[in-house]
Structure 1
Amino acid sequence: MTLFDPPAPLAERLRPRTLEEVVGQQHLLGPGRPLRRMVERGQLSSLILWGPPGVGKTTLARLLAGTVRAQFVPLSAVTAGVKEIRETVAKAELARARGERTLLFLDEIHRFNKSQQDALLPHVESGLLTLIGATTENPSFEVNPALRSRARTLVLHPLEEEDLLGLLTRALEDPRGLPGVQAEPEALTTLARLADGDARRALGALEVAAQIAQPITAETALEALGSHLPAMDKHGEDFYNLISALHKSVRGSHPDAALYWLARMVAGGADPLYVARRVVRMAAEDIGLADPNALKLCIAAQQTVEFLGSPEGDLALAEAVVYLALAPKSNSVYTAWKRVLGEVREGAQHPVPLHLRNAPTGMMRGLGYGKGYAYYFDDPEGSFRQSYLPDALEGRSFYHATGEGWEERVRGRLEALRRAHGEAAPEAEER
């Protein structure tokens, strides 16, 4: 470093030098916890550290290498490939000849393709390399099963607001940080609250705020943070977790939670048409015939989003989500459809009864197609007496009306129709 080199960012300057300086992750570092036990025994195994940005994945890898006195080789899967892996293997073989271990830290491991991940397997399995992979993506989807089986996956959590407050306070007191800089308590609280559990973001915003004005106020902190957009990977697990939370909040009839998760998705940049499609599905799957108007309203919301776009169309989505959350719930058609599809896919393919068949030609009529069919408007009683299911399925029921909303009003009619058809009441296990 020369006189003219810029100083390292605050987050880098304050990187913990010991495990005791690490904030958060006590489920891994506390007494008797996995990483603490590894350090105490000096027996570090290959790991995959899965967690959001700025929670200490790189820091932990460096500290673990130091505690077991291993040669630390950091690589980023964004820029590295098989060539760099081979070079690391060569270094590890030389280190082993000197009686030293090699710890390969592979950041963004999910960006390695299958063949690149496979190139690590023999060296991890032989123990030549102790691998610590870091990822923000779910390893179940992004890391090969063979590699996952050779490395223990540990989940890192976003830092709590209290942890971030302590870290920001330390930054103002530590000689490596910003000694002498003054900040109002409200400013630190604002930074800790809006950093989304990301230490790097909190410290970076503190450093910018110190350059804007001193003492640092809450307004300065907000200016340093910039536009606050909720963290969301539009193609990753977070996105699908938010969709799941929205759907389950609607199903659980909680309009406030449903609105919150919808807002998180919209503010995070989710495709509003995709969200609209999922909302339409909720209407069909979870409200169904308890309120037939729900599907119409959601189709109207989808058309509004398509016509107006965002942000104008977002209000139509909000209206639809609140309506669905407040609506009576029924999955009777959804479950009936699953039952009947299961019967069709897994059971015998029963022929259409002759009296229900189409008979457009004389030959077909001669074979008995359509013979004996009772047309309802000519013979209502005869229409009810004839069968409509294949003989092997006679008496089976797939659809069962619930006691919710519109279905409560038609449940009596359904029972009367089944009696008219000579069908027994559905068995309890089919409900």
Structure 2
Amino acid sequence: MEPDLFTAAAEDRQEKDPSASPLAVRMRPRALDEVVGQQHLLKPGSPLRRLVEGSGGPAGASSVILWGPPGTGKTTLAYVVSKATNKRFVELSAITAGVKEVRAVIESARRASGGFGKETVLFLDEIHRFSKAQQDSLLPAVENRWVTLIAATTENPYFSVISPLLSRSLLLTLEPLTDDDLRDLVRRALTDERGLGGALTLPEDAEAHLLRIAGGDARRVLTALEAAAGAALATHEAEITLETVEATVDRAAVKYDRDGDQHYDVASALIKSIRGSDVDAALHYLARMIEAGEDPRFIARRLMISASEDIGLADPTALPTAVAAAQAVAMIGFPEAALTLSHATIALALAPKSNAATLAIFAAQEDVRKGLAGPVPAHLRDGHYKGAAKLGHAQGYIYPHDVQGGIAAQQYAPDAVRDRQYYTPTRHGAEARYAEVVERVRERLGRQGGGPDPAS
């Protein structure tokens, strides 16, 4: 049986018995105006609008690549394009399909186009899982316009899609759905005849919990709603309570307000637990933030700050670990990002601690605010322009690389702060080595120290 017949049969079943399909399928938009979110792609005159409305997409683009996190509407947009342009819709997944299946769809599309004048939209999900050779097999169909290819990926297409295919495609970036987007979707599903048709109500606390566990994923929020609705209907309830939602999704409602005090309280507790080296408490607060649907990028930013604020040179690997975690989180998103954030949190909590770098810059800034600045010593000034020598700029400067040991005994700081010592290293972890080094360097430079201790 040809792959497109499966799609046709599924649509036929849905029309005859809508309840036979999952809620996420039943609520799939039939027109662009029903699409939730992605307003940057749907505004009048946008390339996607022009493609759907038949006024022509960008010159040379014979396919579309949809790039975005899971549950943001990639399949939906492909389906809407096929409906709006009256084309056959065939869906394949790169996880289960190979070149053989792709060629079968292309051949079927050629026959349909030639015999019945019906063009085909081929939606290929997870295209990044196709090898270069498998992606190459799509090129003839795209170049000859035997199909309108709409490919979806959660990975950066510049790294995961071959250049010839990318150059022939309209690249559309989908953004994570906001809570407002998901709220609109949930409320539509509750009242729409294709959904629950007003059979149940959903109080605010239950709705809020659904939004938290959704993590910006429309499919996830509708699946959870459907499960909770089924449980409520089975017990002849008129309302989907918070307890019902918790029971059906097997997750307790986290007492956490992302826009209120608890957002900052839990984030503060995470950082203070890391600072206190209590790895278990840190993991608890991390879990609360994850379960509450916190933006993983916010958590990663806090970890990067903690690495410099509370660890610094006591463990020079802490900041690179936190930065790597932030980069990984941006690339993979939830749920896998939880593993990366756990990795970084454990590393930071168990690292030796030092706030010496924090106190050092605070003390230096305080002196600058007090007006302790003064002119840059003449021998340190720029000497690369005509007339600099006449002004005495860069004259008498000692090049440290020409001195044994690489430390030139000359004045670097302005007179006003020449003896100020801002950095007071601890003896914790790797910073103990820096403590010894800075002591020897200051002695070589003739720095006696002066003024208040920046740590005081």
Q: Please report the TM-score for the alignment, with normalisation by the length of structure 1.
A: 0.59
The aligned residue for residue 212 of structure 1 is 231
The aligned residue for residue 21 of structure 2 is 8
Give the C-alpha shift of residue 64 in structure 1: 0.9
Letter aligned with residue 196 of structure 1: G
Residue 203 of structure 1 pairs with residue 222 of structure 2: yes
1:417 to 444, 450, 454: 444
SS at match of 2:91: strand
Letter aligned with residue 16 of structure 1: P
Instruction: Determine the C-alpha separation between the residues in 2 that align with 1:63 and 1:105.
Output: 11
SS at match of 1:49: strand
Instruction: Determine the C-alpha separation between the residues in 2 that align with 1:202 and 1:60.
Output: 18
The aligned residue for residue 349 of structure 2 is 319
Greater shift after overlay, 210-219 or 402-411?
A: 402-411
RMSD across aligned C-alpha pairs, in angstroms? 4.9
1:289-304 equivalent positions in 2, closer than 5 A: 292-294=313-315
Instruction: Determine the C-alpha separation between the residues in 2 that align with 1:297 and 1:132.
Output: 42
SS at match of 1:128: coil
**Alignment deviations for residues 242-298 of structure 1 (CA, whole Å, 9 cap, x no partner):** xxxx9xx99xx999xxx7999269969xxxxxxxxxxxx999x9689x965446999
Residue 69 of structure 1 pairs with residue 86 of structure 2: yes
Letter aligned with residue 52 of structure 1: P
2:157 to 136, 139, 144: 139
Letter aligned with residue 147 of structure 2: L
Instruction: Determine the C-alpha separation between the residues in 1 that align with 2:163 and 2:284.
Output: 32
Kindly tell me: are residues 395 and 319 of structure 1, through their superposed partners in 2, closer, same or farther at Cα, counting changes over 3 Å? closer
Give the C-alpha shift of residue 119 in structure 1: 0.9
**Alignment deviations for residues 38-90 of structure 1 (CA, whole Å, 9 cap, x no partner):** 32344254111112222211110011122233332211112211111211221
SS at match of 2:53: helix
**Alignment deviations for residues 394-414 of structure 1 (CA, whole Å, 9 cap, x no partner):** 79679x999544269965742
The aligned residue for residue 121 of structure 2 is 103
Kindly tell me: are residues 36 and 229 of structure 1, through their superposed partners in 2, closer, same or farther at Cα, counting changes over 3 Å? farther
The aligned residue for residue 164 of structure 1 is 182
The aligned residue for residue 100 of structure 2 is 83
The aligned residue for residue 130 of structure 1 is 148
Greater shift after overlay, 142-151 or 110-119?
A: 142-151
Which structure 1 segments of 5+ residues have no match? Answer: 231-245, 269-280, 299-311, 331-388, 420-431
Give the C-alpha shift of residue 187 in structure 1: 1.3
SS at match of 2:21: coil
Kindly tell me: are residues 59 and 315 of structure 1, through their superposed partners in 2, closer, same or farther at Cα, counting changes over 3 Å? closer
The aligned residue for residue 357 of structure 2 is 328
Give the C-alpha shift of residue 327 in structure 1: 5.0
Identity over the aligned pairs, expressed in percent?
A: 41
Kindly tell me: are residues 297 and 187 of structure 1, through their superposed partners in 2, closer, same or farther at Cα, counting changes over 3 Å? closer
The aligned residue for residue 30 of structure 1 is 43
1:17 to 30, 42, 57: 30
Instruction: Determine the C-alpha separation between the residues in 1 that align with 2:284 and 2:152.
Output: 28
Instruction: Determine the C-alpha separation between the residues in 2 that align with 1:397 and 1:123.
Output: 67
Residue 223 of structure 1 pairs with residue 247 of structure 2: yes
The answer as to whether partners of 1:206 and 1:224 remain within 8 angstroms in 2 is no
Kindly tell me: are residues 322 and 135 of structure 1, through their superposed partners in 2, closer, same or farther at Cα, counting changes over 3 Å? farther
Kindly tell me: are residues 313 and 113 of structure 1, through their superposed partners in 2, closer, same or farther at Cα, counting changes over 3 Å? closer
The answer as to whether partners of 2:312 and 2:353 remain within 8 angstroms in 1 is no
The answer as to whether partners of 1:70 and 1:101 remain within 8 angstroms in 2 is yes
Give the C-alpha shift of residue 91 in structure 1: 2.1
SS at match of 1:328: helix
Instruction: Determine the C-alpha separation between the residues in 1 that align with 2:180 and 2:30.
Output: 21
Greater shift after overlay, 112-121 or 93-102?
A: 93-102
Instruction: Determine the C-alpha separation between the residues in 1 that align with 2:219 and 2:110.
Output: 35
SS at match of 1:31: coil
Give the C-alpha shift of residue 171 in structure 1: 1.3
Kindly tell me: are residues 30 and 225 of structure 1, through their superposed partners in 2, closer, same or farther at Cα, counting changes over 3 Å? farther
SS at match of 1:162: helix
Instruction: Determine the C-alpha separation between the residues in 2 that align with 1:41 and 1:137.
Output: 29
Kindly tell me: are residues 5 and 174 of structure 1, through their superposed partners in 2, closer, same or farther at Cα, counting changes over 3 Å? closer
Kindly tell me: are residues 16 and 8 of structure 1, through their superposed partners in 2, closer, same or farther at Cα, counting changes over 3 Å? same
Instruction: Determine the C-alpha separation between the residues in 2 that align with 1:297 and 1:54.
Output: 33
Letter aligned with residue 106 of structure 2: V
The answer as to whether partners of 2:125 and 2:153 remain within 8 angstroms in 1 is yes
Give the C-alpha shift of residue 328 in structure 1: 1.3
Instruction: Determine the C-alpha separation between the residues in 1 that align with 2:252 and 2:119.
Output: 43
1:263 to 286, 307, 316: 286
The answer as to whether partners of 1:107 and 1:135 remain within 8 angstroms in 2 is yes
SS at match of 1:72: strand
The aligned residue for residue 347 of structure 1 is none
Give the C-alpha shift of residue 106 in structure 1: 0.3
Give the C-alpha shift of residue 103 in structure 1: 2.0
**Alignment deviations for residues 356-386 of structure 1 (CA, whole Å, 9 cap, x no partner):** xxxxxxxxxxxxxxxxxxxxxxxxxxxxxxx
